[in-house]
Amino acid sequence: MAVKANLVVDQGSDFQKTVTLKNVDGTVFDLSGYTGYAQMRKSYGSTTATNFSVSITSAAGGQLSLGLSHTVTANITAGRYVYDVEVEKNSARKRVLEGILTVTPGVTQ
């Protein structure tokens, strides 16, 4: 089961969030050999998605980083979205993180 975490993204700003994944027993989830994927959508049924950049920053430490550039966030309408993060190894995918993502409006153009 994926961990639930809500995120806030400032419209027009670079966004980066590093998370540490853990197993049910509290030990670090070893990300060696995994590739990460993440998307946000206005709703679960939306056909339009924004892809995050996902990088494994410490495989043995269970850390991955999610990112969106300021040019990407500038083009996202302020509001509430849903997102999730999946990891894949040997063609098997697992959802590890999900939640609500709020994009706050910017003033500076």
Provide the residue range defining the domain that includes 8.
3-104
CATH number, domain containing residue 34: 2.60.40.10
Decide if 88 is inside a domain.
yes
The answer to whether residues 35 and 49 touch, using CB atoms and an 8 Å cutoff, is no
Q: What are the tens digits of pLDDT across the range 27-59?
A: 999 999 999 999 999 999 999 999 999 999 999
Indicate whether 47 belongs to any domain: yes
Q: How confident is the model at residue 108 (pLDDT cuts 50, 70, 90)?
A: confident
Within a domain: 27: yes
Domain count, the chain: 1
CB 14 within 8 A of CB 70: yes
Within a domain: 13? yes
Q: Does the structure show a pLDDT above 80 at 1?
A: no
The label of the residue with tokens 């049910």 reads 24
Question: 72 in a domain, yes or no?
Answer: yes
